[in-house]
């Protein structure tokens, strides 16, 4: 990942949230955001034919989401057979690629936090989508309140895996624990 990207993503995610009237302490709404940006979202269940049956598998082994070029713009195709928290992560991942203006043909996402793009673009989209779902400021507030991963997941309406990732890798818990240890030795 490019130097300074994490700091940039932290700020950018707060700006993106503000565009749909959200602060750092509420669940992100990727559908409202896509709407605001004029990005059509197509649900797989609305497509027809054998392609649909192939893609529509609840375990997501075939597809979670995809960016599909439409004219000069882009649409997001999402697998609506998956659980809502999983869909929200996929949506944020694809939206992050759009916001960061990544080059893409068709980006297919099978893993919850990855698609087929690979490299720096993939790492950047992954990190930014994490900041969109649980901003660092939100993670810090939860860490100070001793929130568990489960509580963080419920508060931000994300999967347990995403909550655990953000609470541990945003640095929130580490910083709060360090501050507490320092106070304890005074
Ligand atoms: Zn991707």
- Domain definitions of the chain by residue range: 1-133, 134-186
C-alpha 18 to ligand 1 mean position (Å): 23
Quote the ligand 1 centre to 53 CA distance (angstroms): 23
Whole-angstrom distance, CA of residue 66 vs CA of residue 19: 23
Q: What is the CA(76)–ligand 1 centre distance, in A?
A: 12
**Above 60 in pLDDT, residue 60?**
no
Q: Residue 183: pLDDT above 90?
A: no
pLDDT at 59: 62
pLDDT of 33 reads 98
The reported pLDDT for the residue numbered 173 is 92
CA of 155 from ligand 1 middle (Å) equals: 25
Q: Is 97 helix (H, G, I), strand (E, B) or coil?
A: helix
Q: How many CA atoms lie within 13 A of 59 on its CB side?
A: 1
Q: How far is the CA of 127 from the centre of ligand 1 (A)?
A: 10
Tell how far the Cα of 110 is from the centroid of ligand 1, in angstroms: 10
Q: Please tell me the distance between residue 89's alpha carbon and the centre of ligand 1 in angstroms.
A: 11
The whole-number average pLDDT for the span 1-18 is 95
CA–centroid distance, residue 118 to ligand 1 (Å): 7
pLDDT tens profile 108-164: 556 677 776 667 888 999 999 999 999 999 999 999 999 999 999 999 999 999 999
Q: How many CB atoms lie within 10 A of CB 33?
A: 21
pLDDT digits (tens, 9 = 90+) for 22-36: 999 999 999 999 999
Query: What φ, ψ does residue 38 adopt, rounded to 5°?
Result: 70, 30
Structure tokens of 2?
């490019």
Neighbours of ion ligand 1 (CB under 5 A): 115, 117, 122, 125
Query: Per-residue confidence at 52, pLDDT binned at 50, 70, 90?
Result: confident
Least confident of 6-10, 37-41, 71-75, 80-84: 71-75
> Over the stretch 65-111, which tens digit does the pLDDT of each residue have?
888 888 888 999 998 988 999 999 999 999 999 999 887 655 555 66
Q: What is the pLDDT, as a whole number, of residue 124?
A: 94
Q: What is the C-alpha separation between 90 and 15, in angstroms, rounded?
A: 20
User: For residues 43 and 8, what is the distance between their CA atoms, to the nearest angstrom?
Assistant: 31
- Tell me: pLDDT of 10 over 60: yes
Query: For position 113, what pLDDT does the model report?
Result: 77
Using CA atoms, how far residue 108 sits from 66, 176, 178, in Å, is 5, 37, 40
Residue 111 Cα to ligand 1 midpoint, Å, equals: 9
Task: Please give the distance, rounded to the nearest whole angstrom, from the Cα atom of residue 147 to the centre of ligand 1.
Answer: 29
Q: What is the pLDDT of residue 9?
A: 97
């Amino acid at each position: 990942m490019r130097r300074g990207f994490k700091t940039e993503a932290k700020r950018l995610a707060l700006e993106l949230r503000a565009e749909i009237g959200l602060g750092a302490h509420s669940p992100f709404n990727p559908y409202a955001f896509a709407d605001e940006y004029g990005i059509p979202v197509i649900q797989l269940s609305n497509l027809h034919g054998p392609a649909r049956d192939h893609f529509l598998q609840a375990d997501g082994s075939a597809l979670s989401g995809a960016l599909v070029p439409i004219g000069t713009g882009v649409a997001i195709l999402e697998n609506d057979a998956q659980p809502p928290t999983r869909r929200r992560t996929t949506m944020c991942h694809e939206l992050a690629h759009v916001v960061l203006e990544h080059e893409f043909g068709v980006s297919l996402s099978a893993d919850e936090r990855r698609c087929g793009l690979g490299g720096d673009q993939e790492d950047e989209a992954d990190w930014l989508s994490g900041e969109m779902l649980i901003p660092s400021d939100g993670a810090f507030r939860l860490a100070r309140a001793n929130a568990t991963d489960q509580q963080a997941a419920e508060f931000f309406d994300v999967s347990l895996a995403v909550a655990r990732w953000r609470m541990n890798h945003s640095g929130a818990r580490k910083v709060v624990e360090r501050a507490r240890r320092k106070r304890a030795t005074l």
